[in-house]
Amino acid sequence: MSRIRGSVLVFMFIVGLITPTLAQDYNPLPVAMPSLQIAPDARGGGMGDIGASSMPDVYSQHWNAAKYPFIGSEGGFAFSYTPWLSKLVGGIHMLYASGYRKFGTGDANAISASLRYFTLGSVDVPDPSGKFWQSVGPHELALDVAYSRNLSETFSGAVTMRYIRADYSTGDDETTPGNAFAVDIAGYNESYFHLGRSEALLGLGFNFSNIGTKISYDGGTTSMFLPANMRIGASLGYPFDTKNTLSLSLDLNKLLVPTPPLPIEGEAGEETEQRMRDYYNISSIGGAFQSFGDAPGGFKEELQEIMWSAGVEYTYDNQFSLRTGYHHENEYKGNRRYMAFGAGFRSRGFQVDAAYLVSVTQSNPMDQTLRVSLGFDIDGLRTLFF
């Protein structure tokens, strides 16, 4: 076995761990940097991966940075830890840190940032004879900074700049670290209206994320699409009284990545390979527009590429929270379907959240995934210690 084959095996190992096993009829959308799709925090994860329009919090950077100007506190920061695919193999986990600071007249502006580090642990690579050669530590990293601003009393917008790096190197000259740049464009609207005897909060949000360059792991010979994504959502927060609040949320997601061509019966192998080369030569921006109407199965398959999540959050006295949700992905596009359960506690200066994922499909390696997040409120900490 050559070192080149070792490089390929490492990459296939990484993709195979994150993408569920697919049948022949499946036609998933292949993307690089799959860790960018993982919900990093326990609050959004506890509602089935929701965050486009849920109540703003310190974790909003991943979901919708435009929510930050509507947070009551002037700043905060948080850390999250997720052991990933723990049922399948050990050593895979994601570390995530985020924070924000509001400024300007009326705190109408906010600067926020996050750092995501996803490691696949230690992978053994064989030498040409098939014996152990060395261990490598493949990982993915993303660093981003966002600026958000209130554009009216109810609406805010945000732009996020992101640097992305993936290193699957095995020590040979065929595999090189990949680098890419991307942007997010997001908006969020928050308005109140009377519903029964209470004043309900309606949130509407969108986020076009990871729109940018493609990424290559072989020095530019071939390149892959980033998981560019369109997320839109709506939420409704209803206070039963001064201490009890129930929130309902719905998110819809569609990857802005072209659908790969399927083999055609009777087609020569060279023609199939040429169509695949043409597919990977599509630009990232061209692919985003093409993704709305290129599925081989027509409009029906386009609808299959839409993922959705629905979640519920109950909060008592703005301190204790219970959450649940469901995430659905079509069986022909990955079949990631799971229930999520979560809980949170908030005090004056900090909050802690936990989430637990339960798969509703058989042999899903994401089953029993646990997330833990810890957030801090600058205003609350100042009150406690000064």
SS3 of 6, please? helix
DSSP 157-181: EEEEEEEEEEE---SSSS---EEEE
Show the CA angle centred on residue 96, arms to residues 42 and 104, nearest 5°. Answer: 95
pLDDT of residue 169: 72
Sign of CA dihedral 332, 42, 59, 200: positive
DSSP 304-330: HTEEEEEEEEEEETTTEEEEEEEEE--
**pLDDT tens, position by position, 16-49:** 444 444 444 578 888 989 889 999 999 999 999 9
**pLDDT tens, position by position, 80-135:** 999 887 666 667 889 999 999 999 888 899 999 999 999 887 666 655 565 655 66
Q: Which residues are within 8 A (CB) of 362 and not within 5 positions of it... i.e. 6 or more apart? A: none
% of the chain exceeding 70 in pLDDT:
86
Q: What is the mean pLDDT of residues 56-67?
A: 96
Q: Rounded distance, CA 194 to CA 148, Å?
A: 28
Q: Rounded distance, CA 310 to CA 302, Å?
A: 20
N-terminal to C-terminal alpha carbon distance within the chain: 63
pLDDT of residue 365: 67
CA nearest neighbour of 219 among 260, 181, 182, 169: 169
**pLDDT tens, position by position, 165-218:** 998 776 665 678 899 999 999 999 999 999 988 899 999 999 999 999 999 888
pLDDT of residue 233: 97
Category of 289 on φ-ψ map: left (φ > 0), alpha (ψ -120 to 50) or beta: alpha
Q: 7 or 72: which carries more pLDDT confidence?
A: 72
CATH architecture of the domain with residue range 3-385: Beta Barrel (2.40)
CA nearest neighbour of 59 among 295, 272, 379, 376: 376
Q: 55 or 386: which carries more pLDDT confidence?
A: 55
CA nearest neighbour of 290 among 253, 261, 322: 261
Q: Rounded distance, CA 63 to CA 144, Å?
A: 13
SS3 of 341, please? strand
Q: Which residues are within 8 A (CB) of 226 and not within 5 positions of it... i.e. 6 or more apart? A: 31, 32, 33, 36, 164, 180, 182, 210, 212, 213, 214, 215, 284
Is 54 in contact with 44 (CB distance < 8 Å)? yes
132 phi and psi angles, rounded to 5 deg: -60, 130
**pLDDT tens, position by position, 109-118:** 999 999 999 9
- On average, the pLDDT of the chain sits at 86
Task: Please check the confidence at residue 154 and state whether its pLDDT lies above 60.
Answer: yes
CA nearest neighbour of 354 among 83, 77, 87, 11: 83
**pLDDT tens, position by position, 347-366:** 988 999 999 999 888 766 67
pLDDT of residue 20: 44
DSSP code at position 129: T
Q: 281 or 207: which carries more pLDDT confidence?
A: 207
